[in-house]
Amino acid sequence: MIFFYNLLTFFYLPIALIRLFYKKNFSFEEFKRIFERLGQFKLPEFDHNKKTFWLHAVSVGEVNTSINLIKKLKKITPNANILVTTTTQTGSNRLKQIFKEEVFHQYLPFDIFYFVNKFLRFWKPDCLILIETEIWPNLIHQCSNKKIPVLLLNGRLSTKSLVNYQKLKNLSKKTFSKIDMIIAQTDRDKENFTTLGANPNNIYVDSSLKFDAIDFDSLESTFSYDENLIEEKKIITCASTHPKEDEILLDSFQILNDESTHLVLVPRHPERAIEISKFLFKEGVSFALLNNNETKFLDLNNKVTIVNEIGHLNFLYSISHLAFIGGTLIEHGGQNFLEPVKYGIPISSGDSVYNFQEIADKLRELNILKRGNDAKEIAMIWQAAFEKENIELIKEKSTKYITSQQGSVNRSVEKIMEFIN
């Protein structure tokens, strides 16, 4: 089965390269980094005599989840090399923003035997730590062949993903059986990993690393606003929205018909800001981009703000009255529900939450999250929140929930060290 997989990846390579060139944020700088995806690299000052922890974090979300894990590894193994790979440019940018030159960084090579082998021959990692469920058969098989432990942290595997993996049952079983340790987020995830061939004796269950990524103390101001006007406005921040969701959320906002509210749309992919701008212009809705190339300013005189770059969600939540989580009005499974919980504000979403099922269910149980299926239902949730919610009670329950789930970073690092030492 792995032979046929290799054959498919070989034929897929030209398509993968073309897709990179056609990405909206593709640049000359990214063009120069193409060879990293082919298993090549700029030769850094790298000491092969040191222990090397290799961590793969696909994009921005996984990088943010990994920050405290990386810091902890650096603290307890100050002489070790830390190599972090990402798949996306936004993930790469976020990693560089946080760690600068403190860690080694490359793009993950395409999952083709030759590229993966070349990558492993140079870096010679002592372990591979996968964040969430990033499964690449060649990557895992080659690590296993070279006796490099493969550890999967913050593992989640929805029923939908399970069904998809089972379509390639033999390949999935051979791949998952080669993962040396899995720390799953829920018992259901553990069952799904076991179904796909992972050894149940090597699977542990712990709370999500995302809880440890929440910092109650630090808050960086990332834009300015009219401090007098903001007292008169109720801000609704819609985070990580996907195509088709912005239209529904605008309808919800218009159903509210409340001049004191201000809608903030934060697309999952910032390059979609232009597409959303065209839609709002066509609808005759006054709007502004958060970053207008001169200053980052939240213009509350308009009805809508479109956030056209990453890095502002934390500060937005801190001044918002309500949050909506994107990827839930379409069959996507939802984005991170925990970021707004930190600020104790009411949260709303659609029903597609399978990527964060247990967290979403708990937030509903605590009456922090309300779910709706269409513009009218979401507008009713927003209206009720403005009129009836006990904000102080929500803040109290939010803080208790987060603190009760923290500590998984330390426990995960302890298990990692058991494999390395």
Q: What confidence score (pLDDT) does residue 125 get?
A: 96
Kindly state whether residues 162 and 253 are assigned to the same domain: no
> What pLDDT sits at residue 15?
83
Q: Which of 46-55, 85-94, 233-242, 354-363 has the highest mean pLDDT?
A: 233-242
Q: Residue 305 sits in which domain range?
A: 224-404
**Rounded Cα distance, 66 and 71, in Å:** 9
| Mean of pLDDT over the chain | 92
Asked whether 237 and 290 are in contact (CB, 8 A), the reply is: no
pLDDT at residue 396 greater than cutoff 70: yes
> Tens digit of pLDDT for each residue in 1-49?
676 787 788 778 888 877 777 775 667 677 778 889 998 877 667 888 8
Looking at the fold, whether 199 and 273 belong to one and the same domain comes out as no
User: Reduced to 3 states, what is the DSSP secondary structure of residue 185?
Assistant: coil
pTM of the predicted model as reported, rounded to 2 decimal places: 0.86
Nearest to 39 by CA among 13, 7, 75: 13
Q: Tell me, yes or no, whether 347 and 382 share the same domain.
A: yes
What local confidence, expressed as pLDDT, does residue 9 receive?
82
- Degrees to nearest 5, angle at CA 46 with 45 and 47: 125
Q: Specify the CATH number for the domain of residue 84.
A: 3.40.50.11720
Residue 301 belongs to domain with CATH number: 3.40.50.2000
Q: Which residue has the higher pLDDT, 183 or 19?
A: 183
pLDDT at 292 over 90: no
Q: Both 240 and 370 in a single domain?
A: yes
Q: In what helix (H) or strand (E) does residue 128 lie, and over which residues does it extend?
A: strand 127-131
Is the same domain home to 62 and 123? yes
Q: At 133, is the pLDDT very low, low, confident or very high (cuts 50, 70, 90)?
A: confident
